[in-house]
Amino acid sequence: MTRNDKRIFVLLPAYREAGVIGGIVSEIRQRYPHFSIVVIDDCSYDTTAQEAALAGAHVLKHCINLGQGAAVKTGVTFAIQNAADIIVHMDSDGQHVVSEIDLLLNPLLSGKADIILGSRFLANQSNVPTLRRLVLKAGILFTWFFSGLRLTDTHNGFRASTREAAQKIAINENRMAHASEILHEIVRHNLSYVEVPVTVLYTKYSLLHGQKSSNAFHIVTRLLWRKLFLE
């Protein structure tokens, strides 16, 4: 089965990514003309939605800011409703490399696993700042301890799954904890997974704009809460 036989959706959850999102959408369109590109604008107060639409993406809009997890959920629902075979999740801040979508798609298309997870620590080209590296490594241990998954990168928004896997994975965490929730769902549904090396670029823009390392505390609190009271 080749990628031309498949309906492939790329989801880009975005919050205040004007100036960046248009270039990402254009590059995806250029490299992968038959993919459906969906930008989920989470009530940005800049021109994210307009830029994304102008570049040729389908734009879904939240009328209040709910968070990246909620945006991914909206995008997945849309993709499934529109008969997607494969769903790719990607950040909208330029930290992921468009051409590396192939690294996720190839193992998925050859049936290696239900979900392919990008890992910035399986390759050497990511310039991860020291504090972020420490926080991410702590996340790896946390995931191993709580879900039994031994991964090399647990909070990377670059992943791809089959439609069937996406239908099983419930996302109820509206904000950044959804990345851990997805891993938890992989275990719960006994889905097969493979990690592949991908690049995550840390630029001046991403460092000023992205989440703070201290957000890890919020993620851990959310996950403990779920573990103790919701499961």
What torsion do the CA atoms of 37, 42, 48, 53 make, to the nearest 10 degrees? Answer: 40
Which residue among 9, 28, 32, 93 contacts ligand GTP (CB under 6 A)? 93
Least CB distance from residue 125 to ligand GTP, whole Å? 15
Q: Which of 28, 35, 52, 68 binds ligand GTP (CB under 6 A)?
A: 68
Partner interacting with residue 40 (select from Mg ion, ligand GTP, none; CB below 5-8 Å by kind) = ligand GTP
- Binding string, 122-141, against ligand GTP, x = CB under 6 A? ----------x---------
128 burial via Cβ count (<10 Å: 0-12, 13-18, 19+):
middle
Residue whose entry in the numeric block shows the structure tokens 């704009």: 209
Q: Which residues bind Mg ion (CB under 5 A)?
A: 93, 95, 206, 210
Minimum distance, C-beta of residue 209 to Mg ion, in the bound complex (Å): 7
User: Any idea of the CA torsion for 73, 30, 34, 21, to the nearest 10 degrees?
Assistant: 20
The only residue of 10, 24, 28, 40 in contact with ligand GTP, by rule CB under 6 A: 40
181 touches ligand GTP by CB under 6 A: no
Does 153 bind ligand GTP (CB under 6 A)? Our answer is no
Phi, psi of 78 (to 5 degrees): -60, -45
Question: CA 108, CA 111: separation in Å to the nearest integer?
Answer: 5
Q: For Mg ion, which is the closer residue by CB, 75 or 113?
A: 75
Find the binder of ligand GTP among 58, 85, 211, 218 (CB under 6 A). Answer: 211
73 binds, among ligand GTP, Mg ion, none (CB under 5 to 8 A by kind): none
H helices of the chain, in order, are 21-31, 48-55, 68-81, 101-109, 130-147, 163-168, 178-188, 204-209, 215-225
Q: Is the Cα torsion angle 96, 99, 100, 102 positive or negative in sign?
A: positive
Interface with ligand GTP by CB under 6 A: which range of 52-60, 91-99, 106-114, 220-228?
A: 91-99
Query: What region does 190 belong to: left with phi over 0, alpha with psi -120 to 50, or beta?
Result: left
Binding site for ligand GTP (CB under 6 A): 13-15, 17, 40, 42, 65, 67-68, 71, 91-93, 95, 132, 155, 157, 206, 210-211
